[in-house]
Amino acid sequence: MRQRTISDGFWRNPDIADLSHEDKGTLLYFLTSPSSNIIGCYRVVWMQAAAEMGWTKDQLMVVAKRLKARDLIDFNEAGWVWVKCWWEHNSCNGAFMGKLSANAKLQCTRVPPKWQPQVFEWLRSFGVNVTSDHKVANNAPCHAPSYAPTPDPSHAPATGSVSQYTIPNIQYTTTTTTEPGSAIEQTVVVVDDLIFPPQLSSQQSDVIAELLADSVLPAKIQQALLDELHGAQLVRQISNPIGYIRTIIERAKSNSFKPELGVAIEQHRKQQTIILHAQESDRQPVPQEVIDESLRNLPAHMRKCVESLRPKAVGA
């Protein structure tokens, strides 16, 4: 777990001294948020942040607007937060030196294009010259895996090079493009629709969708994480599915995630796809013995999960 240090000057800062308790507490939250990064410009999930503060999203947004009016932070509806007093409590020069440097520069490329001129000027005021040559190689050290794309897709037509990466038998494509008005390259990843476990409420699905989008993991890994949650819910009670998915997201980022219960879910989905394609093309349905043979090849605990998903016969 990371540690954040807050200067004791926080309490005597004239820009902060007359804030309400709620405003001070929220500013402290943004200075120490688990979602924060090296440069103080990062993305949160608003509902999750509000829950961590013990508020509703609407309550948090009211206070965030007051902090923005005081020019202490900036934020947008997509969840991006820019903490403008960040360097009063963190070392700007230290962030762009040594082992942290590559990650800090990578985080600069992820800043929303609309904010980049202001954020880069802000960094320059602290002696850091952020220029368009701050491009980080795919194998640069980072909190996210080296293969992870940036979380903000460009809305401009994709132009540039396309490269293939292979991660534990999973292949995906990223396209490097240039955002209009910005010299910094962005990475675009087109994510197909994800399939969420049916046990989730719509609110839980929304929060998990934001967590996955913010994880910058490839689409196939995101689906594997959802399948793992689905499989886990079939074999035991998961009281906090959002916390569960957050944990396995971190494991995936550190390359320590190994699909287990989700394998059965993926296998079942593939079987259903084969059956549907066969029916739609007026071909003979997949023989039952083929399906049974596929099930027999699965480990016992996975086979049990798949069996529980199969439609029950009428009257059974």
Asked if residue 120 and residue 42 are part of one domain, the reply reads: yes
Q: What is the pLDDT of residues 46-64, one digit of tens each?
A: 988 999 999 999 999 999 9
**Domain stops at, among 106, 124, 142:** 124
Asked if residue 33 and residue 112 are part of one domain, the reply reads: yes
SS (H, E, C) the chain: CCCCCCCHHHHHCCCCCCCCHHHHHHHHHHHHCCCCCCCCEEECCHHHHHHHHCCCHHHHHHHHHHHHHCCCEEECCCCEEEECCHHHCCCHHHHCCCCHHHHHHHHHHCCCCCCHHHHHHHHHCCCCCCCCCCCCCCCCCCCCCCCCCCCCCCCCCCCCCEEEEEECCEEEEEEEEECCCCCCEEEECCCCCCCCCCCCCHHHHHHHHHHHHHHCCCHHHHHHHHHHHHHHHHHCCCCCHHHHHHHHHHHHHCCCCCCCCHHHHHHHHHHHHHHHHHHHCCCCCCCHHHHHHHHHCCCHHHHHHHHHHCCCCCCC
Asked if residue 285 and residue 206 are part of one domain, the reply reads: yes
Asked if residue 195 and residue 305 are part of one domain, the reply reads: yes
Counted domains in the chain: 2
Q: Is residue 175 part of a domain?
A: no
Q: Is residue 184 part of a domain?
A: no
Asked if residue 14 and residue 115 are part of one domain, the reply reads: yes
Q: Is residue 214 part of a domain?
A: yes
Q: Is residue 52 part of a domain?
A: yes
| pLDDT category of residue 178 using cuts at 50, 70 and 90 | very low
What is the residue range of 217's domain? 191-311
Q: What is the pLDDT of residues 280-307, one digit of tens each?
A: 555 555 567 767 777 777 777 777 776 7
The per-residue pLDDT for 309 is: 67
191 pLDDT higher than 90: no
Q: Is residue 137 part of a domain?
A: no
184 pLDDT higher than 70: no
The per-residue pLDDT for 252 is: 94
Q: Is residue 161 part of a domain?
A: no
The per-residue pLDDT for 286 is: 59
The per-residue pLDDT for 106 is: 85
Asked if residue 120 and residue 205 are part of one domain, the reply reads: no
The per-residue pLDDT for 314 is: 53
Q: pTM score, two decimals?
A: 0.46
**Domain stops at, among 104, 124, 144:** 124
160 pLDDT higher than 80: no
Q: What is the pLDDT of residues 138-159, one digit of tens each?
A: 333 333 332 233 333 333 333 3
Q: Is residue 56 part of a domain?
A: yes
- Return the higher-pLDDT residue of 74 and 235: 74
Q: Is residue 195 part of a domain?
A: yes
**Domain stops at, among 97, 124, 151:** 124
Q: What is the pLDDT of residues 252-282, one digit of tens each?
A: 999 999 999 999 888 888 877 777 666 555 5
